[in-house]
Structure 1
Amino acid sequence: MHGFTVKEVVAVPDLFLTAIKLTHDTTGAQYLHAARDDPNNLFSVQFRTTPMDSTGVPHILEHTVLCGSQKYPCRDPFFKMLNRSLSTFMNAFTASDYTMYPFSTQNAKDFQNLLSVYLDAVFFPCLREQDFWQEGWRLENEDPTDASSPLVFKGVVFNEMKGAFSDNERLYAQHLQNKLYPDHTYSVVSGGEPLAIPNLSWEQLKQFHATHYHPSNARLFTYGDLPLEQHLKQIDQEALSKFQRIHPNTQVPSQPHWTSPREEHVTCSPDAMAPDATRQNTLCVSYLLGDITDTFEAFTLSLLSSLMTSGPNAPFYKALIEPKIGTDFSSVVGYDGSTKEASFSIGLQGMAEDDAEKVKNIIHRTIDDIIETGFEDERIEALLHKIEIQMKHQSTNFGLSLASYIASSWNHDGDPVELLQISNSVLKFRQALRENPRFLQDKVQHYFKDNTHRLTLSMSPDDTYLDKQASAEERILQEKISALSDSDKKDIYEKGLQLLDAQSKTQDASCLPALKVSDIAPTIPITPVHMTKADGVPLQLCEQPTNGLVYFRAMCSLNTLPEDLKLYVPLFCSVITKLGSGSMDYRQQAQQMELRTGGMSVSTQVIPDCTHMDMFEQGVLLSSSCLERNLPHMFQLWGDIFNSPRFDDRERLRVLVMMSAQELANGISDSGHVYAMTQAGHLLTPAGELLETFDGMDQVKFMKRIAEMSDLTPVLRTLPRIKKHLLNPKNMRCAINATPQQTSKSVAHLESFMKDVAGNKKHFKAVRPNVVERPLDVRNVSGASRTLVAHPNFQPCHMKTFIQMPFPVNFVGESVRTVPYSHEDYASLCVLGRMMTAKFLHGEIREKGGAYGGGARMGGGGLFSFYSYRDPNSVQTLSAFSKGVNWVKSAKFTQQDIDEAKLSVFSAVDSPVAPSSKGMSVFLSGITDEMKQRHRERLFDVTRENLLDVAERYLSVGNKTCGVSILGPENDVIKRDPSWVVQQAEKNRQEGQSQHQA
């Protein structure tokens, strides 16, 4: 068909799909199609990319091919298509040894449009020198308009990788891979080592494209319910038919095995948020395993890895985590199948340097213990149960998950269809265990005990690390500058002006295909929900095709909780399902959860009211899922947690606190923009204030202080107090998503659960100063009611906060108080945020400023937020936010710009919802289908006048109530400005300790 030959057609009933394997006759391009009854269709093309240096050539190429192509020569068609399509996903990834370009959409015409743009981008890119400077690296005057300003390094990938390597976990993982596979492509940094990026030339970039981005080196994947024939025809006509077969020679050879183990050491920057300054070391032992294209061996080793490391019953958890030698496992832990030959790693972070030998001994001793005793049958069954649940659970991005799942093995010529047949591997695994009860122990002996290809990598903080990095960068910069003649410098200045001019010009994107607003469905599909009660507790039922899984949620109100306990709620949520309950200790509880459920979790919820800015709902959400046969067991587990949670194990709590504090500290460098926006909005609405308490830097610092406490008894005492208020059926409402056949069974089991916990129905008086609580009967189609907290006298307050962090880049946030979801201006602000991002802020913050990302968006809590991510600038970015508002007010945008922004908003509004999550917006937020339809109609109706009006009324200087926050490195400009409140992460340790003493 259309230049392709079908090689294999295989039904995969486990995943409800048919896999069709093809080869392109002329070029040899490999193709896999997964036909499945899913409207969220996906396309992906991946190339095996094997760099031999750390200049980041595949990563910079990934950015640059998306900057214009033969058929679509306008600058940045990729970002422009975000606003001309209804895509549910659009991105590109650079892995260690492949580069992948996936997109998904539910619209057939959109699929063809995006396919055309993607094919042209990867096979026929412009690769202009100017795009290489912008996306990769360049020398440029600090102020491009001032030839006398100093020359500096700029570039999106250059700044992105500086930001990426400010994350110590990422840094460690990179070193580990480079040193475990030292003989080929895995020994270099495919994303780019910031100090090596300036060694890459434009010529080398073009050469890399010519040798790697060829159909003979490509693997194409499509998924969904659109006909395969149409895809093949378009792919052949628009791209593959224009090539002849080559031999790309990109194969990755096997890593030669070492005859004896090795040890290495690296350094990193100290972590200002670490609970203990003297315990910031990481040590991990890594083993080289087998080739990932052996599907069954890879499956076995992956299972074996989970048995060894996952959960409190795992031998390495008992041996390494519970003695509290470190705060958590090392950032790389367990099986890693992302390279040609897999690896297994085990170790600790947050440990003292003196404990290194102790940790190594424990690791070797634990391996001996496993070989001797093996694993309990029940643990193996729990793991196989988890696989069964994962296969049945339907996610909204199933196609993308499949593409990622098969990418590595397929990249090295493994069989992708074999990978999808998970049941076959499970059957084979059970058979192997029956034939040889020591099957797993023999694997441990072979891959761990007898394996001489073993690396022990330690990492310790160095107070001068960031200074050394900065000095090294300065040295490379000066070397580059000293080699320049005056005419070179003049040339750099002129090229800088040309780039600035190109970035400032309005681009003609008329060559790009686009959907029209008229292509968007005018109405939303209605999700029927049915309201009933289970033993007096409100219950929402939503019948959905869930593949035999039952999804249970319960919202428990926080309204009676005393104010002084609020900071502890996230900790309570993270530990309540992990401390043990009833007759079970935490190990037995974890085992039963794995055997009987798809997971049980509790999370904080701050839900702004959709009609009023100063009202919100506060609570915790209980979530779990199970197969129908396990319904009684799941509710029994919840019953034990409600009736008899265990709050007596101080040592277990210490372990959970350390892991939680470490996880929060590690997460800042990845989600800095979210922390900045949360901080910026925390004094603008009552909900914003609570959100900062639960999810902001306040919570990170609080958990750091808890982790520093020598005695956790006071914390243990607060947990039962919180439980008394939260786990109370009087303050609950529930929801169940299941198939029609399972619904009545689910309700019956929920009723008996409610009767079982009825002893908790004592009523608690609210201890809530300055808060008026009033039950608001938000009548939805189904008559559920939600109790909201009102703050009638709340006064929003403007505040500028700078939080100094040991990062070489900034995260900037500015939040403005506007209107709630149901207000008529909300739709206009949504469209305004998208338009401002695409048409102005992207150019200012990313293209000119060199940040990895930035933009504006309207949040559900009525806050309009500006943000930037991994940004070399701070105050300049705040000025770009202001310029963005002025750009809107100057009315330089067109009707086309408005329509594109609407498309972008609708692609989010209409993103697919999994059967497990249908009806959740009305259950959690009280937002009914009718309200969504009204919002939809308002989006369609947004006009130019509406946009000018909301920009003036809400975002203009003088009219706006806003907060500003920056997380970033030391900043003298801000320190000299008295309008900023400066917080230094480094000082938190002393503050924390003095508070404990107090």
Structure 2
Amino acid sequence: MKINDSMNGFKILEVKDVAELKGKIVEMKHEKSGARLLWLDRPDNNKTFSIAFRTVPSDDTGIFHILEHSVLCGSKKFPVKEPFVELIKNSMNTFLNAMTFSDKTMYPISSKNDKDFFNLMEVYLDAVFYPSIYTKPEIFYQEGWHYEFDENGDISYKGVVFNEMKGVYADADSVKENALCRALFPDNCYGKESGGHPSKIPSLTYEQFINGHKKYYHPSNSYIILDGDLDIEKVTEFIDREYLCNFDAIEPSELPNVQEPVNAGKVEVMFEQSNDMPLENQSSLQMGYVIGKFDEKEKIYATHILSRYLCENNQSYLTSALLEKGYAEDAVIHVIDGILQPYIALDLKNIDENKADEIYDFVNQKLRELQSNGFDRKQLEAAISNLEFELKEKDFGYPRGLMYAMLSLETWLYDGEPTMNVLVGDIFENLRKKAENGYFENLISELFFDNEHRCVLLAKPSYTVGDSDREDEKSRLEAVKASWSDVDVEYYKNEQKKLDEWQSSVDSPEDLAKMPMITLEDIEVKPEPLPTVVDGNLLKHSIQTDGIAYINMYFDITGVGEEDLPKLSLLSNLLGELDTAKHTAAELKTELMTKCGSIAFVVSPFSDYNSTKSGSIKFVVSFSALIRYVDDALSLVQEILTSTKFDNTSQIVDIIKQSRQNKYQSIVMSGSVLAAKRSATAFSYDAVVDELTNGYSFYQWLKEQENEPTVIGELEGLAGRIFGSNNVLIGVGADDANAFDGSIKAFSASLGTSDILHELQIKPWKKSNDAVLIPGDISFSGMSVDFDGLYDGTTFLMTHIVSLDYLWNEVRVKGGAYGTGLKPVANGSLFAYSYRDPNAKASVETYQKIGDYVRDFANSDRSLVGFIIGAMSSASPLLTPRLITSGADGNYIRGISEESRLALRRQIVNTQKSDFLALADKLQNVFCSASFCVIGSKKQVDLFKNLDNKLSL
């Protein structure tokens, strides 16, 4: 393969060996259609394909977000209603999704199975180039928006994207981000809401939607990215023959405009506050600055490092100064890169709005002092090392090929070097050298003082702004309806009827048969091994980690009572944040950032396999480190566990306030799991543990402690009781897990003795139906049931079918919720949930009919094969070294053997539909009598007449 060679219509533009990737980079262009292609030829059997389009929004209607959803709702070759869902049901994908960014739309897939990879690629290519949206306007009305009539003849807006964005704008951070971008980028796409603003989405017409696809979804405007060990000849031949050869090149769509520098001055915005929260000292001050252009890589990396130096934690230079003065409860810096003009936002949370100018002046004063006095070299090196570890570890939470694809688009989209951000190179060595010559001091001037592209945003809480927005929406709808003639009313009612009929229709067997599928013979039943050698209190996992060690410590706290669980959860938030006998908190953070890639403390229940009533509770300490730093990291952990000082009340109160604020935000933004776990407290001890350490009850406890922190005097005693050498199990994942035996034994010997009993004290709570009131219009629901130890392959397969066939159609498609599902838990329970749901009451009623659905499915003539393949995919997630280590540890603690893992997968493959009949009656009984929890607005909650508790934030 050489430059200027041709391959299946593609001209090869560049071939470059790259040691950092252990492979090469190949860049091509399809000569007839104008499509660009990049292949990262690496030794990775998880193959990734992505096609992206440059989509630059000119308004807030969310056209590209709605297109992202809609093109996956049927296409020319695959005319079923939901090819995307059929793929989740029926494929062995390791990733399958689509993403809308501020200036691009991306469609990535990945799979380890060659045949499956081609199937997924074909469906996605057909979807983006030949979608059914041209002949099925119902897709736009379902995914985007439509008028919905209720039983009284009143109308409302309904649509999946509309509801999703309602949920987004229930979050104060989203409101702030939108306002800041509008101020910084008044003349280009970054000042628009690419996801769609709820007030503007209903102004998008079907005609505009179709024209958007015609303009932007052309190969000349596309970026195809391949990653992994694949047959490039075969892949390019397929893409050319089936798709690209049918198009002639055109001029690609416009690049985002470069926003000329603007000093937007001071801007104010209001966000909705819960009526149970105060307004005083709840404002936020944001200071936004544009960094420069996308190709200023060194400056962007340096800004990330500077942000960590200033605001990574409570001991960081700027955060500590603000907390000490009482100016803010928290301070963070967001670095928004991956766009044409990256920017930063310094966000000071929970301030007194009357002191905004004073706080702004103080921040600038501290920055000038830092510039004048210079950086602390150890702290700066810690920030550099921490970012360097993160980028070299490449544990992104996504398949590595997908992350490389996203990094490529951060430059390639603007006609820059495609792999600039994929490769780390020697940039950190260069920055270390420049740091010695005042580089970071000069960067402060460039970013904060000499920068004419800036904005100051004051975001203020309001009890009424949400009601005002809802009244505006109601007025718009009333005006629309008032403008309709009787003929218009009948027209829109008929459109709703057609949509309802289409949503209720069933794909024909002939159309379903057109979907490409692998067979059961194509899949591997044996699970990926989680190698574990038990050596005393050590669990050793020798796996490829590329020079990184992952160490998890499990301190047994099973015997604690309910009253101690929130205290221990707070303790997990405090460790590593306070002074110790050897270091101040600031010194400790510097050491941790230098020597550890990450470190975390958490309280976690580990229920026994197939049991909701028995198991253990662990205080888990986890860290990752380069092998050369493992001894140093162990020494730091020992110091934290045995000599943390709990005498600084102000620091502890700061952390309590931050924890409470973070928990508030998680309830408002992602309450579905919290709702499901709260409902499970009626039968599951581990749900009670979760509720008291991470749920609504913990949030309320934090609010009480924030006002009167009586717990402080107990923390040292708690720590002294639990961190003992006699109750710790340690898991090690590394290239050679035996390399640290001596170090870990010395660590264990340095600990004291625990006196915590190992007999479980936590019992399930009384059954109750609960609701938690939150601001905004969207809700979350959860309903959990005890399935009496029936966690096996048949149950696993059943939940896969219920999620993607029944709940998807009833709760998402018809109901308009953004997400829904039925999840099996290894303790033998199940939970159903809805996410960003416009009608939680209907969703709860849907859960109660799961048994009926399963019975009907068992008596149908539908095939199980595709569902079995999809369930096997769910049972075979892509695992990083970190996840292999923690997963193997968890299986050992819970009593899940390799034989159990294999048995579950064999049961999935061997399940017959008749096996579901045995489950149907039980499902009907448990769901009809189950408790539920809903988190939502007053309007949503008031629909429920059978609540036991109506709770507030």
TM-score, length of structure 2 as denominator length: 0.95
Matched, 1:799 2:768: yes
Give 1:403's match in structure 2, choosing from 391, 398, 405.
405
Find the counterpart in structure 2 of residue 519 from structure 1.
522
Alignment of 1:91-170 (within 5 A): 91-127=97-133, 128-143=136-151, 149-170=153-174
Find the counterpart in structure 2 of residue 59 from structure 1.
65
Find the counterpart in structure 1 of residue 366 from structure 2.
366
Instruction: Look up the SS of the partner of 2:458 in the other structure.
Output: strand
Alignment of 1:895-934 (within 5 A): 896-918=862-884, 919-934=888-903
Find the counterpart in structure 1 of residue 79 from structure 2.
73
Alignment of 1:281-296 (within 5 A): 281-296=283-298
**Larger CA deviation: 299-308 vs 175-184:** 299-308
- Separation in 2 of the partners of 1:21 and 1:412? 16
- Separation in 1 of the partners of 2:325 and 2:376? 22
- Separation in 1 of the partners of 2:725 and 2:806? 50
Q: 1:544 to 1:892 in 2, by over 3 A?
A: closer
Query: Does the CA-based 8 Å contact 1:50-1:97 persist in structure 2?
Result: yes
Query: Does the CA-based 8 Å contact 2:672-2:781 persist in structure 1?
Result: yes
1:400-425 residue CA offsets vs partner (Å, 9 max, x unmatched): 22223333322222212222221232
- Separation in 1 of the partners of 2:675 and 2:540? 38
Find the counterpart in structure 2 of residue 428 from structure 1.
430
Query: Does the CA-based 8 Å contact 1:804-1:982 persist in structure 2?
Result: no
1:198-217 residue CA offsets vs partner (Å, 9 max, x unmatched): 11001101111111111111
- Separation in 1 of the partners of 2:227 and 2:794? 35
Give 2:812's match in structure 1, choosing from 846, 854, 867.
846
Find the counterpart in structure 2 of residue 778 from structure 1.
none
Query: Does the CA-based 8 Å contact 2:681-2:767 persist in structure 1?
Result: no
1:798-853 residue CA offsets vs partner (Å, 9 max, x unmatched): 32112222120111111111033xx4x63222211111122221111111111112
Find the counterpart in structure 2 of residue 877 from structure 1.
843
- Separation in 1 of the partners of 2:442 and 2:237? 50
- Separation in 1 of the partners of 2:926 and 2:420? 63
Give 1:6's match in structure 2, choosing from 12, 18, 26.
12
**Larger CA deviation: 477-486 vs 187-196:** 477-486
Query: Does the CA-based 8 Å contact 1:684-1:963 persist in structure 2?
Result: no
Find the counterpart in structure 1 of residue 248 from structure 2.
244
Q: 1:803 to 1:897 in 2, by over 3 A?
A: farther
Matched, 1:676 2:675: yes
TM-fit CA distance, 1:54: 0.8
Query: Does the CA-based 8 Å contact 2:858-2:914 persist in structure 1?
Result: no
Give 1:528's match in structure 2, choosing from 510, 523, 531.
531
- Separation in 2 of the partners of 1:154 and 1:674? 24
Find the counterpart in structure 2 of residue 385 from structure 1.
385
Which residue type is aligned with residue 672 of structure 1?
G
Query: Does the CA-based 8 Å contact 1:891-1:948 persist in structure 2?
Result: no
Query: Does the CA-based 8 Å contact 1:394-1:915 persist in structure 2?
Result: no
TM-fit CA distance, 1:797: 4.5
Find the counterpart in structure 2 of residue 991 from structure 1.
none
Instruction: Look up the SS of the partner of 1:799 in the other structure.
Output: coil
Query: Does the CA-based 8 Å contact 2:170-2:669 persist in structure 1?
Result: no
Give 1:983's match in structure 2, choosing from 939, 950, 953.
950
Find the counterpart in structure 2 of residue 781 from structure 1.
none
Instruction: Look up the SS of the partner of 1:733 in the other structure.
Output: strand
- Separation in 2 of the partners of 1:142 and 1:321? 51
Which residue type is aligned with residue 133 of structure 1?
Y
Q: 1:960 to 1:490 in 2, by over 3 A?
A: closer
- Separation in 1 of the partners of 2:761 and 2:463? 48
- Separation in 2 of the partners of 1:973 and 1:404? 40
1:676-726 residue CA offsets vs partner (Å, 9 max, x unmatched): 1011111112222222112221112222222233xx3x2221211221222
1:575-631 residue CA offsets vs partner (Å, 9 max, x unmatched): 112113231011111000111111221111111110433102101111112112112
- Separation in 1 of the partners of 2:48 and 2:861? 30
Q: 1:66 to 1:581 in 2, by over 3 A?
A: same
Find the counterpart in structure 1 of residue 218 from structure 2.
214
- Separation in 1 of the partners of 2:764 and 2:282? 42
Find the counterpart in structure 2 of residue 731 from structure 1.
727
Q: Which runs of 5+ in 2 are unaligned?
A: 1-6
Query: Does the CA-based 8 Å contact 1:682-1:689 persist in structure 2?
Result: yes
Find the counterpart in structure 2 of residue 262 from structure 1.
265
TM-fit CA distance, 1:183: 0.7
TM-fit CA distance, 1:74: 1.2
1:276-296 residue CA offsets vs partner (Å, 9 max, x unmatched): 541210111111221012323
- Separation in 2 of the partners of 1:16 and 1:379? 33
TM-fit CA distance, 1:111: 0.5
Instruction: Look up the SS of the partner of 2:935 in the other structure.
Output: strand
**Larger CA deviation: 825-834 vs 492-501:** 825-834
Query: Does the CA-based 8 Å contact 1:42-1:223 persist in structure 2?
Result: yes
Find the counterpart in structure 1 of residue 742 from structure 2.
748
Query: Does the CA-based 8 Å contact 1:539-1:736 persist in structure 2?
Result: yes
Which residue type is aligned with residue 238 of structure 1?
E
TM-fit CA distance, 1:893: 6.3
Query: Does the CA-based 8 Å contact 1:614-1:686 persist in structure 2?
Result: yes
Alignment of 1:853-868 (within 5 A): 853-868=819-834
Query: Does the CA-based 8 Å contact 2:850-2:927 persist in structure 1?
Result: no
TM-fit CA distance, 1:483: 2.4
- Separation in 1 of the partners of 2:496 and 2:139? 12
1:920-979 residue CA offsets vs partner (Å, 9 max, x unmatched): 3433433121111111122122221221211212x11378652211111114885773x3
Query: Does the CA-based 8 Å contact 1:105-1:111 persist in structure 2?
Result: yes
Find the counterpart in structure 1 of residue 924 from structure 2.
956
**Larger CA deviation: 826-835 vs 128-137:** 826-835
Number of residue-to-residue matches in the alignment: 937
Find the counterpart in structure 1 of residue 3 from structure 2.
none
Find the counterpart in structure 2 of residue 944 from structure 1.
913
Find the counterpart in structure 2 of residue 278 from structure 1.
280
Q: 1:421 to 1:973 in 2, by over 3 A?
A: closer
TM-fit CA distance, 1:430: 3.4
1:322-354 residue CA offsets vs partner (Å, 9 max, x unmatched): 433222226xx2321143111122131111212
TM-fit CA distance, 1:365: 1.1
**Larger CA deviation: 44-53 vs 415-424:** 415-424
TM-fit CA distance, 1:525: 4.1
TM-fit CA distance, 1:431: 4.2
- Separation in 2 of the partners of 1:950 and 1:564? 38
Instruction: Look up the SS of the partner of 1:403 in the other structure.
Output: helix
Q: 1:911 to 1:891 in 2, by over 3 A?
A: closer
Find the counterpart in structure 2 of residue 769 from structure 1.
none
Which residue type is aligned with residue 660 of structure 1?
S
Query: Does the CA-based 8 Å contact 1:819-1:863 persist in structure 2?
Result: yes
Which residue type is aligned with residue 123 of structure 1?
F
TM-fit CA distance, 1:133: 0.6
Instruction: Look up the SS of the partner of 1:498 in the other structure.
Output: helix
Find the counterpart in structure 1 of residue 4 from structure 2.
none
Which residue type is aligned with residue 830 of structure 1?
F
Query: Does the CA-based 8 Å contact 2:371-2:442 persist in structure 1?
Result: yes
- Separation in 2 of the partners of 1:23 and 1:838? 38
Query: Does the CA-based 8 Å contact 2:41-2:228 persist in structure 1?
Result: yes
% of aligned pairs identical? 25
Q: 1:908 to 1:892 in 2, by over 3 A?
A: closer
- Separation in 2 of the partners of 1:386 and 1:506? 52
TM-score, length of structure 1 as denominator length: 0.91
Which residue type is aligned with residue 503 of structure 1?
Q
Query: Does the CA-based 8 Å contact 1:639-1:753 persist in structure 2?
Result: yes
Q: 1:450 to 1:394 in 2, by over 3 A?
A: closer
Find the counterpart in structure 2 of residue 190 from structure 1.
194
- Separation in 2 of the partners of 1:138 and 1:929? 50
Find the counterpart in structure 2 of residue 777 from structure 1.
none
- Separation in 2 of the partners of 1:78 and 1:507? 14
TM-fit CA distance, 1:901: 2.7
Q: Which runs of 5+ in 1 are unaligned?
A: 767-772, 775-788, 987-998
- Separation in 1 of the partners of 2:941 and 2:288? 45
Find the counterpart in structure 1 of residue 801 from structure 2.
835
Find the counterpart in structure 2 of residue 84 from structure 1.
90
Q: Kindly report the root-mean-square deviation, in angstroms, between the aligned alpha carbons of the 2 structures.
A: 2.1
Find the counterpart in structure 2 of residue 558 from structure 1.
557
